[in-house]
Structure 1
Amino acid sequence: MTRLITHLRHVDLAVPDFAEQRDFYAGVWGLEEVATDTGLSFLAAVGSPEQYVVRIREAAEKRLDLVAFGAETPADVDALAARMRAADVRIVREPGTLDTPGGGYGFRFFDLDGRTIEISADVAVRAHRKLEEKESVPVRLSHVVLNSPDLAATRAWYERHLDFALSDTLSSPYMGDVMHFMRCNPQHHSLAIAKGPHASLHHLSFELRGVDEYMRGSGRIIRSGAKKVWGPGRHLAGDNTFTYFLDPHGNTVEYTTELERLDEDTWHPSVYDFSQPEVTDQWGTANPMNELVAKESFNDVDRGVFVAPPV
């Protein structure tokens, strides 16, 4: 399948306590600050060629600033922008040169729920390295999960406008569909849409080198005093490990590894009943999924809906 979107680049967060958030991600979480500006911090993953995977901005209110995806060429960026205009999607920054680390060419628009999305190409590759055994810091940004009050409509929007494909669905006899796992490449999901009471960030996930590094990293975060929400365990959909924590501003962040890669020509989506404990955790090692665990990932109402970030 030919897609104009290639991969997830970075997710940008705004918070009132900039210093605390910066210290968490550049410290215990294991990212590396690669650039700063007034009230801005750009954080990279050691093993990733992306210039940065998280941007933190100082702001009066907590919000999700934007989610950025990559495209192969500037021509693909222009083609996507033309597609958005034809569909009356609101563009908030026309295609042009980017002034963020690595430069490139991109544009921004609002998705169905009012989140700012950026698409870019020709961003310079950052010098990076292969992580060694026992290095328990993120290799790269794995995926992002977004809460939506209209799960089906948001899934359809991403399928129609950005060519995302459905990999699997979580459902239950009591709640119906609760999460759609969406892919833009053979990785099981770079994006997932979760059923929530409002538009917000559900969680950010970071890939570690392997299971041993994932466990060492999870233990390091637990010992730091950060609140653990759920895990360690292993999901059925995507077959990836998970441990979820809260960052200092209440955003859920995940350590994971071994997320499944699919043969897209033969893959058929499944619907998994997440009320079955082996679906949420194959290992049976995590604390049980319950309403309190789920509520943490609802997050606060996003104050950035249909308001483009200033930078």
Structure 2
Amino acid sequence: MNQLNEHGITHLRHVDLAVTDFETQRTFYKDTWGLTEQGRDGDLSYFAAEGSPEQYVIRLRRADEKRLDLISFGADSTQSVDALAQKLGSEGVQLVSEPGTLQTAGGGYGFRFFDIDGRTIEISTDVETRQHRAIEEGEAIPVRISHAVMNSNDPNRTRDFYANTLGFKLSDTLWGEHMGEMMHFMRCNDWHHSLAIARGPHTSVHHVSFEMRGLDEYMRGTGRVMRAGIKKIWGPGRHNAGNNTFSYFLDPSGNTMEYTTELEKIETDQWHPAVYDIADPMTQDQWGTADPMSEIIARDSFNAPDKGVFVAPPV
């Protein structure tokens, strides 16, 4: 893999959500979304993607308030974890925990900190992998977690934090005449983006995306979720930036979840980020099968203001 992150950050591991409707959400992720409940631990539930070696890609926590608990990224070594923690501390980034043995499923070694918007971010290494398998033809379940997109009311500041502090590279940007820069796609490996920052009214989860095996499996999964009566926000279609397909749904607690496939890999170090005008219909959907992007569609993914800003999750 080329273009490795200068601080040893390798990939997106998991996104951890606190929800008020725990049992409803467990049923949704197992029976409708196609993840495997890998384990239960009291008020925690861990969900794996069958095609991924990660212990889990979504963690649910039963809570009185809905919030993002944390986003976890992998690192290539304990040395990288230690060096990054020391760097962040010296730059005034607030550490939530010092590097040490992790108490969560799969163990490992890592630390947590608040990003510039107050999200809890975890960097970890040496986490045990799980037995995974090749997803078969026609099997419409997620292969892996693809990317996480977060709302920020100052997306350029957030982009700069991830670029300058954590070594993420900018892949592309969406721009609108009235709103300015609307979304920044950031990468830490050769996938077009593992993280994106969207312009929103407040800090919150915009969406979490899952890679499907191929176009047929992506469409079958999209249809299954639609038939289950889950609200589809947008799609199916194919974005320009990243060249990936999209179908967005609202999970029962109001977080947007996406099925995608064929996300672009960036094979060249001479990549020049493009700025795509959202007024061009091809920017949002090359196929023309999705409804045109509108304020109504956009508003669905603004989400509620996150209750977890600058508050570390209990676990």
TM-score bucket (shorter structure): over 0.9
CA distance in structure 1 between the partners assigned to 2:190 and 2:147 by the alignment: 13
1:45 matched residue in structure 2: 49
Aligned with 1:14 (options 15, 18, 29): 18
1:114 matched residue in structure 2: 118
1:81 matched residue in structure 2: 85
Instruction: Answer yes or no: is the 8 Å Cα contact 2:32–2:224 preserved in 1.
Output: yes
SS at match of 1:217: helix
Aligned with 1:165 (options 153, 163, 169): 169
The amino acid of 2:132's aligned partner reads H
Give the CA RMSD over aligned residues. 0.7
1:265 matched residue in structure 2: 269
CA distance in structure 2 between the partners assigned to 1:14 and 1:102 by the alignment: 20
Would you say 1:214 and 2:218 are equivalent positions?
yes
2:61 matched residue in structure 1: 57
1:134 matched residue in structure 2: 138
Displacement of 1:102 = 1.1
1:146 matched residue in structure 2: 150
Displacement of 1:260 = 0.1
CA distance in structure 1 between the partners assigned to 2:158 and 2:105 by the alignment: 30
2:192 matched residue in structure 1: 188
Instruction: Answer yes or no: is the 8 Å Cα contact 2:4–2:10 preserved in 1.
Output: no
1:236 matched residue in structure 2: 240
Instruction: Answer yes or no: is the 8 Å Cα contact 2:186–2:193 preserved in 1.
Output: yes
CA distance in structure 1 between the partners assigned to 2:139 and 2:248 by the alignment: 19
The amino acid of 1:291's aligned partner reads E
Displacement of 1:17 = 1.0
The amino acid of 1:48's aligned partner reads S
1:202 matched residue in structure 2: 206
2:307 matched residue in structure 1: 303
Instruction: Answer yes or no: is the 8 Å Cα contact 2:235–2:290 preserved in 1.
Output: yes
- Deviations 1:2-38 (CA, angstroms, capped at 9, x unpaired): 4211000000000111100111011110000011111
- Residues 229/42 of structure 1: CA separation in 2 closer, same or farther (3 Å cut): same
Q: TM-score, normalised by structure 1?
A: 0.99
Query: How many corresponding residue pairs?
Result: 311
The amino acid of 1:20's aligned partner reads T
Displacement of 1:266 = 2.0
CA distance in structure 2 between the partners assigned to 1:48 and 1:86 by the alignment: 35
Q: How many percent identity over aligned positions?
A: 64
Would you say 1:289 and 2:296 are equivalent positions?
no
Q: TM-score, normalised by structure 2?
A: 0.98
The amino acid of 1:37's aligned partner reads D
Where do 4+ consecutive residues of structure 1 move more than 3 Å? none
CA distance in structure 1 between the partners assigned to 2:166 and 2:53 by the alignment: 23
Aligned with 2:231 (options 203, 227, 230): 227
- Deviations 1:144-174 (CA, angstroms, capped at 9, x unpaired): 0000011111000001111000000000222
Displacement of 1:75 = 0.8
After TM superposition, the structure 1 stretch with the greater mean CA deviation from structure 2, 240-249 or 266-275, is: 266-275
1:101 matched residue in structure 2: 105
Displacement of 1:100 = 1.2
CA distance in structure 2 between the partners assigned to 1:197 and 1:264 by the alignment: 35
Would you say 1:5 and 2:22 are equivalent positions?
no
The amino acid of 1:300's aligned partner reads A
CA distance in structure 2 between the partners assigned to 1:99 and 1:116 by the alignment: 16
